[in-house]
Amino acid sequence: MYTTDRLLLRAFEERDKPDILALYNDPAVIRWITKDYLNPRDLQYFETSIRPFIGRCFVYAVITTREFQDATSIQHPTFVGQVFLLHSMDTTKNRDVTLGIALRTTCQGKGYGTEILRFMIGHAFSALGMHRLSLSVFEGNKKAHQLYKTLGFVDEGRLREANRTPEGSWEDLIYMSMLEKEWRRDEGTLGDDSSIVIRMAS
């Protein structure tokens, strides 16, 4: 498992299924993570699509808050979302993985996305020895696009009008990446994962 200041990133457990399905059924989340129809997803979809997807990831982590205890109470972990690094056929040769993240709506806007992505970027380059991190983001997802740029990702191309939005207009899919040398150059400003306890999450 991995920990950041406020969050725990751990392997998928069977009890996470309802939370993960709820994430995929939240229109404000699914809108930004698939080019597919935004259909309701049931347990069968979990078994035929989400579970195999988790299995294909190089790293897949369920994100929860960390348990917190003070003199009067214990705050138990709550589900925050998911983050992953996805293999491709050439990951071993080129040390290139695709980064993805989705947080439940109630957990957005608290800085969690920034915290997790800083960790995952540092982890991918320093612990996993990646050379390149890839991702894609819809043109309409201004918040995610801005966050990726802030963290050091660079636009490197776009699939024009590749996604039909729920409103019926067309938007581009923007491809972004970060190279190891860019991360090393900016390392001091992107955060430090040296205090993190690592156990592979899949």
Ligand X SMILES: CC(C)(COP(=O)(O)OP(=O)(O)OC[C@H]1O[C@@H](n2cnc3c(N)ncnc32)[C@H](O)[C@@H]1OP(=O)(O)O)[C@@H](O)C(=O)NCCC(=O)NCCS
Site string for ligand X, 41-80 (x = CB under 6 A): ----------------------------------------
Burial class (CB in 10 A: 0-12, 13-18, 19+), 180: middle
Phi-psi region of 139 (alpha: psi -120 to 50; beta: other; left: phi over 0): alpha
**88 lines the binding site for ligand X (CB under 6 A):** no
Closer residue to ligand X in complex, CB, 81/191: 81
Task: Give the binding range for ligand X (CB under 6 A) out of 11-19, 43-51, 87-95, 111-119.
Answer: 111-119
| Amino acid code (one letter) for 32 | W
Closer residue to ligand X in complex, CB, 126/141: 141
* In the complex, minimum distance from the CB of residue 129 to ligand X, in angstroms, rounded to a whole number: 24
**108 lines the binding site for ligand X (CB under 6 A):** yes
* In the complex, minimum distance from the CB of residue 137 to ligand X, in angstroms, rounded to a whole number: 4
Residue 92, φ and ψ in degrees, nearest 5: -65, -45
**113 lines the binding site for ligand X (CB under 6 A):** yes
Stretch 114-133 residues interacting with ligand X (CB under 6 A) = 114
Do you know the residue count of the chain?
202
Distances (CA, A) of 159 to 62, 94, 165, 174: 29, 23, 14, 7
Say how many C-beta atoms besides its own lie within 10 A of residue 34's C-beta: 13
H/E stretch holding 185 reads helix 180-190
Closer residue to ligand X in complex, CB, 82/132: 82
Strand, coil or helix: what is 122? helix
Q: Which of 21, 33, 86, 173 binds ligand X (CB under 6 A)?
A: 33
Closer residue to ligand X in complex, CB, 96/139: 139
- The residue behind tokens 């996604």 is 163
Distance CA 137, CA 3 (A): 26
Task: Give the binding range for ligand X (CB under 6 A) out of 7-15, 54-62, 104-112, 187-195.
Answer: 104-112
**110 lines the binding site for ligand X (CB under 6 A):** yes
> Which residues of this chain interact with ligand X, rule CB under 6 A?
29, 32-33, 81, 101-103, 108-114, 137, 141-144, 146-147
